Structure 1
Amino acid sequence: MLRTASLALALFVFWLLLSGHYTVWLMTAGLAVSVLLALAGRRLGFADEEGHPVDRVIAGLTYWPWLAREIVKSSITVTKIILDPKLPISPRLFHTKVSARTPVGVATYANSITLTPGTITVAVDRENDRFLVHALTGAGAEDVEAGDMDRRVKRFEGRAE
């Protein structure tokens, strides 16, 4: 029930942000529609742990700022590479291990790799717990293979190292 209430609240806040109208009638209607959609989502199965992982919000408050820093650092690195007339790239395609066990953890890790400039998750192999990753440089590949992001996603999932 907490997940459904959280989904209703998230939908209502999203509606308020998009609407820009704050009359009593429209806010009441927005709240009613948000609650109905959350109940329908619960019944249809998208208000579950995978579709609305509200229990990961607290863990996300430590993971997302770290990811934002990594994105900025990688953006600067890729920008330097692009602006260098010699274009010092050494593309690599490699497999990396995945410690994440939940669908939310696997998706978070795969998307985090892709969001970080210079690396892309090409394929997910759940049977062998690995990703196929393309990196623009050897250093980018080494960063992924070092496993820091993997360990942080594992913590984000709620699993200790």
Structure 2
Amino acid sequence: MTTRYYFILAFVLALFWFLLSGHTSILLLTLGLASIILVTWLVSRMDRNDNAPIRMLFSIEFLSYLAWLVWQVLLTNIDVARRIWKTSLPIKPTCRKIKVSVKNPLIKTIYANSITLTPGTVTTEVGEDYFIVHALNVEGLDELEEGEMERRLIRLEEKQ
């Protein structure tokens, strides 16, 4: 890994920290800087140890996937709220085994977590080539089986 990568990582962490905290006191800025230096140092040690650095976090494809995921979370949030408020809309909890063709462990973890982040669905088990997913309704599982989320993640897997 190049030193440039770690400077970019530190800058992104600093920006993220500042956006979340918004504090400008010297003490908190110093503590934030110390935590950013610690995290960057730990990441560099892990990269040297496992020889498998992850550069995906700075790719356009990953940012595009995150934007799409935020949109999906918003849409499913609205759907879940509608099902709660309108008693005519069905809530029929169900579990199903979903076939997964993603092989990369990191991408598979992102996939399982993306399902869980989406309101109304939870990944309850991760197998070699499947997930067991619990959903508030069958439509949520049908949408997962259509595979749009998986297709987007497979593109990430190919780019990594």
Q: TM-score with structure 2 length normalisation?
A: 0.75
Instruction: Give the direction of change, closer, same or farther, for the CA distance of 1:115–1:9 in structure 2 (3 Å limit).
Output: same
Q: Structure 1 CA distance, aligned partners of 2:123 and 2:31?
A: 42
CA RMSD in angstroms comes to 3.1
What SS does the aligned partner of 1:158 have?
helix
1:50-61 alignment, distance < 5 Å: 53-55=56-58, 57-61=59-63
Q: Measure how far apart 1:95 and its partner are.
A: 0.9
- Is it true that 1:79 corresponds to 2:86 in the alignment? no
- Structure 2 residues without counterparts, runs of 5 or longer: none
- Is it true that 1:68 corresponds to 2:88 in the alignment? no
How many residue pairs were aligned? 153
Q: Contact 1:120/1:134 (CA < 8 Å) preserved in 2?
A: yes
Instruction: Give the direction of change, closer, same or farther, for the CA distance of 1:30–1:100 in structure 2 (3 Å limit).
Output: same
Q: TM-score with structure 1 length normalisation?
A: 0.75
- Structure 1 residues without counterparts, runs of 5 or longer: none
Give the number of the structure whose residues are more often helix, by fraction: 2
Q: Structure 1 CA distance, aligned partners of 2:120 and 2:31?
A: 45
**Aligned counterpart, 2:43:** 41
Q: Structure 2 CA distance, aligned partners of 1:37 and 1:92?
A: 40
**Aligned counterpart, 2:154:** 154
Q: Structure 1 CA distance, aligned partners of 2:82 and 2:35?
A: 48
Q: Structure 2 CA distance, aligned partners of 1:110 and 1:133?
A: 9
Q: Measure how far apart 1:64 and its partner are.
A: 1.7
1:78-97 alignment, distance < 5 Å: 78-86=80-88, 88-97=90-99
Instruction: Give the direction of change, closer, same or farther, for the CA distance of 1:11–1:86 in structure 2 (3 Å limit).
Output: closer
